[in-house]
Amino acid sequence: MNAVIEAKNLSKRYGKRIAVDGIDFTIPAGRIVGLIGPNGSGKTTTLKAALGLIPFDGELSVLGFDPRTQRDDLMQDVCFIADVAILPRWLRVGDAIDFVAGVHPRFNRAKAERYIASTKLNPAMKVKEMSKGMIVQLHLALVMAIDAKLLVLDEPTLGLDILYRKQFYQNLLEDYFDEHKTIVITTHQVEEVEHILTDLMFIRDGRIVLAASMEEIGERYIEVMVAQDKISAANALQPIDRRTVFGKAVMLFDAGVPGGATRQQLAALGETRNPSVADLFVATMKGSYA
Amino acid sequence: MNTNTMKWLLRREFWENKGSMFWAPLVVGALLVLLVGGTVGYGIIGHGVPGHIVINGQTVANGGMSAAISLDSRIMIAKVASGMYLATASPLFFMLVFAVFFYCLNSLYDERRDRSILFWKSLPVSDTMTVLSKAAMAMIVAPLITIVLAVAASLALLVVVCIALGTQGMNMFGTMLASPDLYLSPLRLLSLLPVYVVWALPTVGWLMLVSSWARSKPFIWAVGVPLTGLLLLQWTNAAMQKISGTSLAIMPYAQDLVARILGGVVPGIWFTYRTDLAPDLRPTASGIDVGAIVSNSYASLAGLDAWFGVALGALMLFGAIRLRRWRDEG
């Protein structure tokens, strides 16, 4: 079994509003997938469906289990951080470790304690005495010590300062991820995760508008600093986005579509480079809030 | 069911509710010993043994001056005291009612309000196990803690009073220690726990159902809805009696239902449903028949209504489990 998550015609409606609109996608094992979309696009709903937290329509298989009927089995191999700072206020660091060690067969106590030791947390500390960043450190210590096949992170660093955010992703990559694990991340801070992602999924209005590996995206999307005299020629090649940086036109091209511009054609227009995920995101989501 | 997981879930509930379930009764128990023991001890030592002794409101009239107290009277006092001494800890059971009531009411609501449910649900612990652990905490662990503290406080008080009497030349220790009731009373109290579980189940089930369902203000829903419903029924009933002279046939059942889903966590509540079973606790020549409390309590389980409540409570707990499984916290 290679696919960790497989969705076919997955839908979820809240009353009349369609949150997820019949999407299909497959997430293979050993990947770090960024599920990126504007607010209200359906990313959290998709993840909640995969974690068996909400009912949904269509087919969805997570590690071979149906999250609706086999959630208890599924949770042996899946872990998630669904929101920032949701640990209960009365919990002590030491008790939290004891509890997870007590109920989770795949929890590595030594690893959690090692991680805690590298922070300012101490076992007697209560969650209510901690800053938001420290709560996330505790949560991460617990989650990283669980040898889960799938880790889902829904906005895990929202509202944290950059030091905590950088450290969070660094720890995740260095001390947690390996080829047997799969991580799915949603976040607004695209620029901070793009260097750790192996795959990208853009979601908009409950539909997936782009799903590709980072290599594919590197080959497909090209950003060109167009020379002044080549602007009309560049426009003729149908860029998907145009913006101006220091008076220079920067255009984004999709070389993947049939009949699209080729790399050679674009190189003739000016300096080319790979666009950042953030730029690609902005171009793809144009008009989302209009 | 995984007993290890259950053990940790109960421990978790204890961490969260240590204040209301352990520290509060401990402090009150200590205060009881200090204040009541202090007052009684001071009274006896300072003013001598009174002409009569009042133990828990029961007057033992043939006390007399210490010198005049016959052996019979001493045995009688010892019997009454050893049978009833646990009653001095009744404030602890009064507190237990409130602790359990509000514990159930918030058990599945607070975790949704602070969103920590998302953390608990990220662990391999089923909703069934979680809800059952909370129900067990309310009906078994919390009463057990109170029983232990109540026995400890009562024994301490008894010792204080006996010492005070001893200073007046009235040695009660021998007769007291020889009285089997002294040792049986804690066991009797413990043996009432299963009866308590049976009668508490409808209330615990109802409160936890509301707790897992209410988007806000679980207290208003849990208490307001049944009482308002009952009031409306009462008005309808009164109107019908005026107009047609008949009364609503379901009225007594409705009253019973409301009493049972709100009052079931009160220890001994079963004697109010079955007044015929309420034991006579007045002292007689042979002391007090405390054993009747236990046998009559178990007799209350013979009726169908006890088991109807169990079925209803189990059904509501099942509802609470389903709600926790599927409730979307947005």
Q: Which residue has the higher pLDDT, B79 or B207?
A: B207
The C-alpha of A79 sits at a distance from chain B's nearest C-alpha, in angstroms, of 6
pLDDT higher than 50, residue A223: yes
Over range B117-140, report the average pLDDT: 96
What's residue B37's pLDDT? 86
Q: Do B124 and A75 touch (CB under 8 A)?
A: yes
Neighbour tally for A120: CB within 10 Å: 11
> CA dihedral defined by A221, A225, A231, A235, rounded to 10 degrees?
10
Chain A residues with CB under 8 Å of a chain B CB are 48, 51, 53-55, 71-72, 75-76, 79-83, 86-92, 95, 98-100, 102-105, 139, 143
Phi, psi of B65 (to 5 degrees): -65, 150
What is the torsional sign of CA B193, B198, B199, B205? Answer: positive
- Window from A20-34, A188-202, B25-39, B40-54 with minimum mean pLDDT: B40-54
What's residue A130's pLDDT? 95
Interface test with A, best of B14, B22, B123, B327 (most A CBs within 10 A): B123
Q: How far apart are CA B123 and CA B136, in angstroms?
A: 20
Mean pLDDT of chain A: 90
The answer to whether residues B140 and B19 touch, using CB atoms and an 8 Å cutoff, is: no
What's residue B282's pLDDT? 62
Residue type for position B282: R
Q: Do A104 and B124 touch (CB under 8 A)?
A: yes
Neighbour tally for A171: CB within 10 Å: 17
pLDDT higher than 90, residue B102: yes
Identify the band that residue A286 occupies on the pLDDT scale cut at 50, 70 and 90: confident
What's residue A267's pLDDT? 85
Total residue length of chain B: 330
- Window from A74-88, B91-105, B208-222 with minimum mean pLDDT: A74-88
Q: Which residue has the higher pLDDT, B127 or B163?
A: B127
Q: Do A71 and B116 touch (CB under 8 A)?
A: no
Identify the band that residue B113 occupies on the pLDDT scale cut at 50, 70 and 90: very high
What's residue B64's pLDDT? 46
Angle of the B251-263 helix axis to the B304-326 helix axis, nearest 10: 60
What's residue B65's pLDDT? 46
For the record, the structure tokens of B65 come out as 């001056």
The answer to whether residues A34 and A187 touch, using CB atoms and an 8 Å cutoff, is: yes
User: Running DSSP on this structure, what letter comes out for residue A241?
Assistant: E
The C-alpha of B130 sits at a distance from chain A's nearest C-alpha, in angstroms, of 12
Long-range contacts of A253-257 (CB under 8 A, 24+ apart): A253/A221, A253/A222, A253/A223, A253/A224, A254/A220, A254/A221, A255/A219, A255/A220, A255/A221, A255/A222, A256/A216, A256/A219, A256/A220, A256/A221
The C-alpha of A18 sits at a distance from chain B's nearest C-alpha, in angstroms, of 14
Chain B residues with CB under 8 Å of a chain A CB are 4-5, 7-9, 11-12, 15-16, 111, 114-116, 118-119, 121-126, 325-326, 328
Nearest CA in chain B to A69: B325
Q: Which helix (H) or strand (E) holds A247?
A: none
Q: How many CA atoms lie within 13 A of B18 on its CB side?
A: 7
A129-148 tens-digit pLDDT: 999 999 999 999 999 999 99
pLDDT higher than 80, residue B59: no
Nearest to A83 among B11, B15, B118 (CB): B118
Q: Which residue has the higher pLDDT, A104 or A229?
A: A104
pLDDT higher than 80, residue B127: yes
For the residues of B10-65, what is the DSSP string, one character each? Answer: HHHHHHHHHIIIIIHHHHHHHHHHHHHHHHHHHHHHHH-S-SSEEETTEEETT--S
Mean pLDDT of chain B: 86
> Is B29 exposed, middle or buried, given 0-12, 13-18 or 19+ CB atoms closer than 10 A?
buried
Q: Do A99 and B12 touch (CB under 8 A)?
A: yes
Q: How far apart are CA B318 and CA A76, in angstroms?
A: 23
For chain A, state the CA radius of gyration.
21
Query: Residue B181: which residues within 8 A CB-CB, separation 6 or more?
Result: B79, B82, B83, B287, B290
The C-alpha of A90 sits at a distance from chain B's nearest C-alpha, in angstroms, of 6
